Amino acid sequence: MNIVFLDALTLGDVDFKRFEKFGNVQIYQTTKPSQTLERVKNADIVVTNKVVIDKNIMDNSDIKFIQIAATGMNNVDLKYAKEKGIIVKNVAGYSTNAVIQHTFALVLGLINKICYFDKYTREVYPKSEIFTHIRNWFEIQGKKWGIIGLGEIGRGVAKLAKNFGAEVVYYSTSGKNNNPEYKKVGLEELLKTCDIISIHAPLNEYTQNLLNYDKLSLIKENAVLVNVGRGGIINEKDLAKILEEKNIFAGLDVFEKEPVNEDNPLLKFKDKTLLTPHVAWTSIEARNKLMQGIYSNIKEAVKALD
């Protein structure tokens, strides 16, 4: 078997040697669109995280199995792969705990103004006349936490938010999710009434551009908005306008374009945003689970293809 990893750099420092037992393994740290076809032309198995595998690639290669090194599958033309008889698999659920933890890292970082206080302590505190420095921040206890997308990750966040003493409500992006443990509300009510809002939804026809200017303008003053779902759920230009107009705070791990452009308007709001480069899924434990899932899927594929 010829096995090709197209964007191994996105997986970090993990063990690739185990795959050599299945055949010839070629590892590329990154792959540009113009390089994809040449690299997968003679591959039986292709492993991709974000590199796109479309109709043209499938028609002009010998690919038999595509392993997506992620949960999301929108970088592969799934419909055409099915027509071609190419098996496509992902790895689901490997990063649930990591994303839940990162959600709270962003929320607490913003609420407790960690970046501000760290900078103050380094630059100003040594010259201070008093032992403390007051800057308003609030407790989660007694606040309302709204969750957009109550899937496995959303439910995990809801459970911890409840343990912090928050009242949890949720909005189902598909309209099909009904969870009696928490109050289901409309999107506008959630945005208007919640002190903390976290997004845990996939990007699809229900969520694309879900939070545009009109919706974002409903968010109450001093509220915290966190997105660890997908970047296209929030209109970034509209969010930048809202940050100019209102005193709200945003924690983002995902963006419309990744990596972000240097002129992304959100980069300038240093006091109102906490930004991370799509790392919520990248704990050591999550990446180990991901690689084990990839290994298991390829092991099954090799048996099926022999």
Query: What is the set of active-site residues?
Result: 230, 258, 278
Residue 249: how many other CB atoms lie within 10 Å? 24
Question: What SS3 state is found at 198?
Answer: strand
- How buried is 17 (Cβ within 10 angstroms: 0-12 exposed, 13-18 middle, 19+ buried)? exposed
- With b for 16 or more beta-carbon neighbours within 10 A and e for fewer, the 148-183 pattern comes to bbbbebbbbbbebbeebebbbbbbbbeeeeeeeebe
- How buried is 265 (Cβ within 10 angstroms: 0-12 exposed, 13-18 middle, 19+ buried)? middle
Instruction: Give, in degrees to the nearest 5, the angle at Cα 50 between 49 and 56.
Output: 110
The span from the first CA to the last CA of the chain, in angstroms, equals 9
The residue with tokens 């598909």 is 174
Residues in CB range of 233: below 8 A, 6 or more apart: 148, 199, 201, 203, 207, 208, 209, 210, 211, 227
Upstream peptide bond of 259 is cis (omega within 30 degrees of 0): yes
- With b for 16 or more beta-carbon neighbours within 10 A and e for fewer, the 103-125 pattern comes to bbbbbbbbbebeebeeeeeeeee
Q: Quick check: 57 and 36 in contact, CB under 8 A?
A: yes
27 φ, ψ to 5°?
A: -115, 120
Q: Say which DSSP state 85 is in.
A: T
